[in-house]
Structure 1
Amino acid sequence: MTTGFFWDETCFWHAGGNYAFTVPVGGLVQPMAAGGLPENPETKRRLKNLLQVTGLTGELDVRGAPAATREELLRVHPARYLDRFKALSDAGGGEITRAAPFAAGGYEIAAQSAGLAVAAVEAVMSGAVTNAYALSRPPGHHCLPDHPNGFCLMANIAIAIEAAQAKGTAERVVVLDWDVHHGNGTEAIYYERDDVLTISVHQEGNFPLDTGAVEDRGAGTGKGFNVNLPLPAGAGHTAYLHAMDTVILPQIAAFQPDLIIVACGFDAAAIDPLARMLATADTFREMTLRIKAAAETHCDGRLVLVHEGGYSEFYVPFCGHATIAALCGSSITAPDPIAKNLAIRQPGPRFDAFLRAEIDYLAGKL
């Protein structure tokens, strides 16, 4: 078994300029570090560094990739959007909409980020690697075809799916989004299609505020092919695994995909600044083992993880290392330095029972 690891240095160079997300700057409010964006390069750079230091990189097939081509981008994003984005990028950067700023060269870096996802999917579908991880940045799961959103400038996963379908290497695809924020962009792109099953497990009432309801099941031929699991704040390790075992894995089994793609955000982790969940590095390890087994059962192991959110510079690397080690079957570990601290902060028996009952209730509405 070979696990591909796709990355590019330029993805660490994406910047949002002098910008602070959701808070005003001025008066007594100082700008945030790293140019003002919680989505900053250090979470991803430190993950890559940790893989190198522990030696896990040596067990991966490390690859680069070309940027996504305009033809590939146009399968998801209209020309008017790409042209506006490129013009602003060439002029020094800016914003097309709030919450997705970019600096000079932002267009090229976003295309590079999408290209990593495209190449990861292509390598898996061709058999060049068994499975793959794409360290994409900027992320993509909030991006609509003509509307960037939530740090996301191009729909990385959708671009990769459309490229594979255009080449005839994949027909039926599952997108499992375990980022703590609802994957509204991916949902919107495939809401009326039955060839892509979109599943999002996310914190209820977090960003975006107006999407992600369990009742949103798709429309037209896509009815029943969109699944949302909005979990209450405070959901931890056992709740996420219960959701995987009782809802997500049965949905995948029923769909019988050619390929599974995970929108792999680590912001459900307990100390993430943009969420209120209690997942741990071990949670992500266990979810990865489960989805890997599902891929082996249903689609010959064809599995791609594409990096999304996660905003703790300290903890994302440990969550990512646990995930990638599970993905490639390595015995190399990076012991979680706060495992004991997080273990005693997991939901107690009464709240855990409530969370399980809530997941069962949501499952009954699907």
Structure 2
Amino acid sequence: MSTGFYWAERCFWHSGGNYAGNAPVGGLVQPLAAGGLPENPEGKRRLKNLADVTGLSRDLVQATAPPATWDALARVHDTGYLERFRAMAEAGGGEIGLRAPFGVDGFEIAALSAGLATGALRAVLTGEHANAYALSRPPGHHCTRDFPNGFCLVNNIAVALETARAEGRLTRAAVLDWDVHHGNGTEAIYYDDPDTLTVSLHQERNYPLDTGGFEDRGTGAGAGANLNIPLPPGAGHVTWLAALERLALPAIRAFRPEVIVVACGYDAALIDPLSRMMCTADTYRRMTRATRTLAGEVCDGRLLMVHEGGYSEVYVPFCGHAVLEELSDSAVRAPDPFADAYAARQPSARFDAFAAGLIDEMAAALAP
């Protein structure tokens, strides 16, 4: 069984529009490497390049997909919002929502990003691939039905899920979000949906400041189908694995989804500029391994990773490579050049014990 790797060069051309200074980006002019935003193409492009250079790409099925259609976007997003977004893009770009800037091609590329996630999910559900990775950009997990924020213009995962449902391929799904920022958009979209379990591991009160509380469990028919796992700043390898294995994965196991979709952000890594966490490439390897094992138990291995955040251009490629190695059972390795230095900077045993106590409290609150 194969691992699909869905990507499109055009997604690397998404720009921050008015954040890009005086550079005339858009059309056939690529954005600058940074483009004025922490969310820039280099981490994603360098992940793809690293996989090509190591030979890991040969163990993946390279694929792409068409942009999400208007109807697919409208299953998730308010049409008034989509119309404003498209009109602003056609007029040259700008900023809509909160911290969600884009250039002249913004709408087109956001639809393509959602299309990659959609195509990858379809291939997993039809059995074309055992699992898949969508190198989507711009990211999506902060975008609600009508409010883009945090660099997210379209909720890629929600568009993929609702397309699969419209095609009659899916009923129950679990979304596991290990981006360091709370997956507020996905939570909001599915907060009253009993058929979609949303689980978010994140740094407490990083972004957004007012969402992501453990007490937020869903509402109406969706009560109990949302789980937030806020972790204290400074948590590292031990704490993130413990939170995953003691809280997130048991919730997914009990839910019995037909597919697990991971909002795969790498911004909990030790040197990420937008977080205060201390994960390493091995953390992402181990989280992927554990999640893939669970997928084998509950949903015939159906697992999709959708790329979200991660803002260290140097370290994201090694974290992502570790994830792809685990998904594909590849023997190709990209040794983490920072492993020894980062191991020495992990939290103390005293901190890990404190964090373990917080996890104990959450586990006790969830116990039947």
TM range (shorter): over 0.9
Q: What's the offset of the Cα at 1:35?
A: 2.3
Counterpart Cα distance in 2 of 1:361 and 1:129? 39
Secondary structure in 2 aligned to 1:62?
strand
Q: Any stretches of 5+ residues in structure 2 without a counterpart?
A: 21-31
Q: What is the aligned partner in structure 2 of residue 84 from structure 1?
A: 84
Deviations 1:231-287 (A, max 9, x none): 000111011111111111111110000000000000000000000000000000000
Measure, in 1, the Cα distance between the counterparts of 2:328 and 2:356.
Answer: 30
Does the 8 Å CA contact 1:177/1:201 hold for their aligned counterparts? yes
Residue pair 2:272, 2:311 contacting (<8 A) in 1 also: yes
State the one-letter code of the partner of 1:174.
A
CA contact (8 A) 2:7 2:135 kept: yes
The separation in 1 between residues aligned to 2:271 and 2:195, in whole angstroms, is 36
> Partner of 1:219 in structure 2?
219
Q: Secondary structure at the match of 2:318?
A: helix
Matched-pair contact (CA < 8 Å) for 2:114–2:157: yes
- State the one-letter code of the partner of 2:306: V
Partner of 1:134: 134
Match of 1:303 in 2: 303
CA distance in 2, matches of 1:277, 1:18: 30
- Give matches, 1:308-319, under 5 Å: 308-319=308-319
Query: SS of the residue aligned with 1:35?
Result: coil
- Code of the residue aligned with 2:292 in structure 1: it is K
Against the structure 1 CA distance between its residues 33 and 166, is the aligned structure 2 distance closer, same or farther, given a 3 Å change threshold? closer
1:271-290 matches, within 5 Å, as 271-290=271-290
Instruction: Tell whether the 8 Å contact from 2:18 to 2:95 is kept in structure 1 after alignment.
Output: no
Give the structure 2 partner of residue 342 of structure 1: 342
**Partner SS, residue 137 of structure 2:** coil
The alpha-carbon deviation at position 188 of structure 1 amounts to 0.1
Equivalence for 1:4: 4
Q: How far, CA to CA, are the matches of 2:349 and 2:102 in structure 1? A: 45
Q: 1:216–1:227: 8 Å Cα contact kept in structure 2? A: yes
The answer to whether the Cα contact below 8 Å between 1:214 and 1:365 also exists between their aligned partners in 2 is: no
Runs (4 or more) in structure 1 with deviation over 6 Å come to: none
Consecutive unaligned residues of structure 1, counting only runs of 5 or more, are 21-31
Q: What is the one-letter code of the residue matched to 2:181?
A: H
CA distance in 1, matches of 2:144, 2:254: 27
Once the two structures are TM-superposed, the CA of residue 33 in structure 1 deviates from its matched residue by: 6.8
For 1:361 and 1:178, the matched residues in 2 are separated by 20
Q: Structure 1 vs Structure 2: percent identity of aligned residues?
A: 62
Q: 2:78 & 2:237 partners in 1: Cα distance?
A: 40
Q: Where do 1:9-24 residues align within 5 Å?
A: 9-19=9-19
Q: TM-score, normalised by structure 2?
A: 0.95
Q: CA deviation at 1:365?
A: 2.7
CA contact (8 A) 1:72 1:159 kept: yes
Once the two structures are TM-superposed, the CA of residue 18 in structure 1 deviates from its matched residue by 3.9
For the 8 Å contact 1:18–1:35, the answer to whether it is kept is no
Determine if the alignment matches structure 1 residue 352 to structure 2 residue 352.
yes
- Give the structure-1-normalised TM-score: 0.96
Amino acid at match of 1:99: R
Question: 1:320 Cα shift?
Answer: 0.2
Deviation of 1:165 after TM superposition, in Å, equals 1.0
2:100 corresponding residue in structure 1: 100
Matches within 5 A, 1:158-197: 158-197=158-197
Alpha-carbon displacement from aligned partner over 1:167-190 (angstroms, at most 9, x marks no partner): 111110000000000000000000
